[in-house]
Structure 1
Amino acid sequence: MVAQARAFSPHLLVTVDNGISSVEGVEAAHEAGMRVVITDHHLPGATLPPADAIVNPNVPGCDFPWKCTAGVGVMFYVLSVLRRVLVERGWSQAGQVKLADWLDLVAVGTVADLVPLKYNNRILVSAGLARMRAGRLRPGLRALLKVAGRDVASLSSQDLAFAVAPRLNAAGRLENMAQGVECLLAPDAASARAHAESLDALNRQRREIEQDMRDQAEAAVRNLHLNGRGLPSGVCLFDESWHEGVIGIVASRIKERVHRPVVVLAPGENGLVKGSGRSVSGFHLRDALDEVATRHPGLLTKFGGHAMAAGLTLPRENLETFSQAFAAVARDKLGDVPPGLVVESDGELRAEDMSLANAVALEEAGPWGQGFPEPLFDGWFELLAHRRVGQNHLKMTLLHEGHDQPQDAILFNFDQWEALHRVRRVHLAYQLDVNRYQGRMRLQLLVRHWLAHE
């Protein structure tokens, strides 16, 4: 980053959502004559970088109450204070800057960063969604929502998480994040549409790569079962053919399957391996990596992240040692057999409560997200009919036990097709969802977990 910035001869380098671990990077910037301001929210290491200023709610001694603020939120607050200070010092032009106009980006960045959606994060996302639903969003976001088939007027945090964020991230995962930035900065609808269509194509390519990697990763997990050793408490998976831009998504999918911490790694540059991890409740992933580094000095080149997600880099020759060390730390904290998946439900719904009106009411009570989950219900259903839609989505017609009206339902990323023909009854954990199509609204159940009975 410093080498790239040097070409512009800047006096000041400001980071956003990174830098808290960049001790050497800040030193290099100082040597190049730059002052450095770090804005970040990631957990700091033992040594803070020698920046001229650090704004991070998680550094020791910071009394800012909302520690889970996303990186984009940190920068939004920095700009808010900067505007106030400039106005106080007589720069009247600063008072004309309307930071509320950027709340659409703050909302997208907060949701995409997977931070807990509570306290100030919830306020920022709510404000951003309200502006977007009213049509006050930049052309790039409008174009991304259009190619994803989402309605701006009924926009939710789930649309940001599953329609906007994956398309923006696809550029950085497969090519260059600049494409996503250019889309967000597009000045008009025509240029925004071109960028959005390009990002949509990249996202389709990303899905294909992800599916191939996921199939290989699941085969590797099955092999661990078959070789008699069983799954370790912390799982590490690596393949020479894997794409480093998709390892985080694959780690998340495999974690959902095995219900234990997972690190997926792929070849990087200069003999290094890059990894991305996803964790389970009760296992702080960034702290676990710190424990690995403490037990094995020099094993990791660098690492960072949060409780539930983290990234790391290490030399290729250290891969096997890291895999064993990570499994050992996980075993110490979780035991030999980590607890399986526990689904917490808000209970069963009565027939009269399973309604479109309640689905709309829950939608309007959002935004829902990390740390502030939408209500989840459960119940037994008879499976009347099913079909495949899209690549791997299961569309179902169900009859709730005790009800007399069939109900539509959908389960995304279904992976049990072989056994489906034998299933007659299912125990589902689901959310009430509003299915909007051709101007009509219908109730459907959005299935999150299922347990089949033949």
Structure 2
Amino acid sequence: MNPLWKLREAAAEVATPERVEGQWPSLIGKLLAARGFTSPQEVDKLLFPKLVDLKDPLLLKGMSQALERLGQAYLNKEKICIYADFDLDGTSGLALLKTGMQALGFTEVLHYQPKRLSEGYGFHAAAVEDLKSQGVSLIITVDVGITAHAAIDKARELGVDVILTDHHLPAESLPEAYVIINPNQGTCESGLGYLCGAGVAFYLLRGLKRYFHDHPQLPKNNWDLKEVLDYFTIGTLTDMVPLVDDNRVLVKHGLVKLAETKRAGLRALLEELDLQDRALTSQDVAIRFAPKLNALSRMESGVLPIDIFLLDDVSKARDMVRQVMKNNSTRVQLQSDAESEAQELLKQWPHKDFVFVASPSFHRGVLGLIATKLTQVYNKPAFVGSVGEDGMIVGSARLPQGQEACLVEAMTTASELMSRFGGHSAAAGFEIAETKVAQFVDRLNSHFSDLREKPKPLEIFYDVQARLPEVSTNLMKWYDFVGPFGAGFAIPLIHFTSIQVLSKRELKGGHLRLKLFDPDSNATMEALLFTPTPRQLETLHNVPGFYDILGELQWNYFAGQKTIQILIRDLKAMS
């Protein structure tokens, strides 16, 4: 079924804000109107966000109690452990909190992250016992723990205090931690529910710096919180939390900080990816930079993301980044092979409303990526599993973009069949015995069949219509300045009409580079179509030809040159 393109409803074009200097493109005014900006004052706040406008960290429930406990730990010279989730949100929060605490004067700060494949997600009681044996008396969790009753109970039993920081939704009851800082616990009125795990850790660090400044017994220094905005930015962009309010302010400043970073590991990776010495966008971080780091925890090949984050030895950075790139190449190949195998296995799939596929050859570290790909190919919920030698299937599930359903609700209909499951409405995980798969599939079929109404096409909302001659370097200057883009403030989509595709060329990985031409103005432009779907490949069968195109604008850096290109989201042949 072809996606349905819809123009966003928009108010009148926004007038030029007072602080804007130079030519203000009409297309930018129309774009912002499509996003609901109706006054120059709103646009001014969007374009020029100020760090002084950030919310007070003490608005977070539990913050004051956590700061008092940390001040006590400093004075008593206690051994502290930061226990963080293994993903890039948890890793970023760990890096910024450890860096900041050491800068403030803490000397006994350990860190611990569970292994993705061998230990799995969560705050684990066994790890608490191990940390206690090392002399740890205070644990700070980052991006994890809000449902970890067993681990918290074990810590209480052993006399270890836990400052639990997280952003995930809690269950009906909260663990009995020393204190909980989570903007999404129902009784927190901070309005900071959009923070990721690293964001909550950053607000703890903001509070801690102020607490040290205000208390005469604690040391004072001029360490600047901006020093860890690179970490905050990586965590926020990779966890895909909304880029609104404080998140937007901090990421806009953090992208500048990341581009200028002196951290040996991060700098070496930027250089390896040819991202050095230029302004970074949120897409550079989320699409090019972060996946290389994420692959480290997915594959568990030795080097982990935190090793790159905290590395300060320039001589070691090059070798470590070479391992990062080699590891990512392995991840890409495993993912590609698994996607091909999955689509082959699904050729005889009988059910209309979802897909399920499992294989012993699927690497557990890439299951979520495969599931995401299958939702794009089939526009259906996808359940993907890796079959272990013990007959157990560990899996990931994903919903197609824009589909209204809940994966956790779907799996709840088969809860007694499963060893465990959980997650969010659009992304979840599960574990089930291979012998129970047939029953599981039957339950899923019943659930999704009951939800089925008239099949709905994927709806793609675009912001404005434009012609190729309107795309200029001046437009791009303001287009970039309107960013950063991400969840909650999506990359603008532009509808280009009556565009002639003169040629297409296949690139490594199956991507396509297209040459575009506007016959009315003789304007030309390059375009890129990543991983085209079978429908899109069929649509491009007749080239040269005329097309309507939905695309994003971006810079292409190649051979020292900087040119504008269109990243195509979808296209339709003109009749």
The answer to whether structure 1 residue 159 and structure 2 residue 280 are counterparts is no
Partners in 2 of 1:250 and 1:198 — Cα distance?
23
Q: Which of 184, 193, 198 is equivalent to 1:72?
A: 198
Match of 1:322 in 2: 440
- 8 Å Cα contact 2:552-2:566 kept in structure 1: yes
Q: Note the C-alpha offset of 1:336.
A: 4.7
Q: Note the C-alpha offset of 1:73.
A: 0.3
Q: Deviations over 1:116-158 (max 9, x none)?
A: 222222122112112233x234222111111122234221111
> Which range moves more in the overlay, 415-424 or 138-147?
415-424
Corresponding letter in the other structure for 2:404: F
The answer to whether structure 1 residue 259 and structure 2 residue 374 are counterparts is no
Partners in 1 of 2:247 and 2:302 — Cα distance?
24
Match of 2:404 in 1: 283
Q: Note the C-alpha offset of 1:168.
A: 0.8
- 8 Å Cα contact 2:504-2:512 kept in structure 1: yes
> Which range moves more in the overlay, 22-31 or 438-447?
22-31
Q: Which of 93, 117, 122 is equivalent to 2:219?
A: 93
Q: Which of 476, 480, 487 is equivalent to 1:363?
A: 480
Partners in 1 of 2:405 and 2:242 — Cα distance?
15
Q: Which of 244, 253, 267 is equivalent to 1:118?
A: 244
Q: Deviations over 1:213-238 (max 9, x none)?
A: 111222234322xxxx4422x33322
The answer to whether structure 1 residue 150 and structure 2 residue 275 are counterparts is yes
Partner of 1:11, secondary structure, is: strand
The answer to whether structure 1 residue 109 and structure 2 residue 235 are counterparts is yes
Partners in 1 of 2:486 and 2:173 — Cα distance?
33
> Which range moves more in the overlay, 174-183 or 244-253?
174-183
**Which runs of structure 2 are paired with 1:210-359 in the superposition (5 Å)?**
210-224=335-349, 229-232=350-353, 234-267=354-387, 272-279=392-399, 280-283=401-404, 285=406, 288-290=407-409, 292-293=411-412, 295-333=413-451, 335-336=452-453, 338-359=455-476
Question: TM-score, normalised on structure 1?
Answer: 0.89
Partners in 2 of 1:356 and 1:213 — Cα distance?
41
Partners in 2 of 1:158 and 1:418 — Cα distance?
25
- 8 Å Cα contact 1:145-1:163 kept in structure 2: no
Question: TM-score, normalised on structure 2?
Answer: 0.71
Q: Note the C-alpha offset of 1:244.
A: 1.0
> Structure 1's 451 and 218: CA in aligned 2 closer, same or farther, altered over 3 A?
farther
Match of 1:386 in 2: 504
Q: Note the C-alpha offset of 1:263.
A: 2.5
Corresponding letter in the other structure for 2:152: V
- 8 Å Cα contact 1:43-1:306 kept in structure 2: no
Query: Cα RMSD over matched residues?
Result: 2.6
Q: Note the C-alpha offset of 1:94.
A: 5.4
The answer to whether structure 1 residue 451 and structure 2 residue 569 are counterparts is no
The answer to whether structure 1 residue 434 and structure 2 residue 559 are counterparts is no
The answer to whether structure 1 residue 376 and structure 2 residue 493 are counterparts is yes
Match of 2:82 in 1: none
Q: Deviations over 1:380-424 (max 9, x none)?
A: 322211112222221111123533222211112235497455343
Partner of 2:532, secondary structure, is: coil
Partners in 1 of 2:389 and 2:188 — Cα distance?
36
Q: Which of 37, 43, 59 is equivalent to 2:163?
A: 37
Partners in 1 of 2:220 and 2:398 — Cα distance?
42
Q: Which of 271, 287, 293 is equivalent to 1:168?
A: 293
> Structure 1's 107 and 446: CA in aligned 2 closer, same or farther, altered over 3 A?
same
Match of 2:316 in 1: 191
Partners in 1 of 2:181 and 2:285 — Cα distance?
26
Partners in 2 of 1:328 and 1:85 — Cα distance?
55
Q: Note the C-alpha offset of 1:62.
A: 1.4
Q: Note the C-alpha offset of 1:13.
A: 2.1
Q: Deviations over 1:63-106 (max 9, x none)?
A: 12131211110111112112322333324425544322111000
> Which range moves more in the overlay, 164-173 or 149-158?
149-158
Partner of 1:246, secondary structure, is: helix
> Structure 1's 414 and 74: CA in aligned 2 closer, same or farther, altered over 3 A?
same
Q: Deviations over 1:237-288 (max 9, x none)?
A: 2222211100111111111222232222223586543222222325353xx4
> Structure 1's 201 and 27: CA in aligned 2 closer, same or farther, altered over 3 A?
same
Q: Deviations over 1:271-306 (max 9, x none)?
A: 543222222325353xx414633x444344444433
Q: Note the C-alpha offset of 1:451.
A: 2.9
Partners in 2 of 1:24 and 1:195 — Cα distance?
37
Higher relative contact order (CA 8 A, sep 6+): 2
Corresponding letter in the other structure for 1:434: W
Q: Which of 242, 255, 266 is equivalent to 1:129?
A: 255
Q: Deviations over 1:152-198 (max 9, x none)?
A: 42211111111221111111111158521111111132222222221
> Structure 1's 319 and 177: CA in aligned 2 closer, same or farther, altered over 3 A?
farther
Q: Note the C-alpha offset of 1:439.
A: 3.1
Q: Note the C-alpha offset of 1:440.
A: 2.4
> Structure 1's 204 and 297: CA in aligned 2 closer, same or farther, altered over 3 A?
closer
- 8 Å Cα contact 2:233-2:255 kept in structure 1: yes
Match of 2:94 in 1: none
> Which range moves more in the overlay, 154-163 or 356-365?
356-365
Q: Note the C-alpha offset of 1:113.
A: 0.9
Match of 2:531 in 1: 413
Corresponding letter in the other structure for 2:362: W
Partners in 2 of 1:88 and 1:96 — Cα distance?
13
> Structure 1's 382 and 350: CA in aligned 2 closer, same or farther, altered over 3 A?
closer
> Structure 1's 152 and 277: CA in aligned 2 closer, same or farther, altered over 3 A?
farther
Partners in 2 of 1:255 and 1:168 — Cα distance?
24
Corresponding letter in the other structure for 1:388: E
Match of 2:517 in 1: 399
Q: Which of 126, 135, 150 is equivalent to 1:3?
A: 126
- 8 Å Cα contact 1:210-1:249 kept in structure 2: yes
Partners in 1 of 2:449 and 2:247 — Cα distance?
34
Partners in 1 of 2:347 and 2:242 — Cα distance?
33
- 8 Å Cα contact 1:41-1:74 kept in structure 2: yes
Partners in 2 of 1:87 and 1:326 — Cα distance?
56
Query: How high is the sequence identity, in percent, across the aligned residues?
Result: 29
Partner of 1:154, secondary structure, is: coil
Partner of 1:80, secondary structure, is: helix
Partners in 2 of 1:94 and 1:265 — Cα distance?
52
Partner of 1:343, secondary structure, is: strand
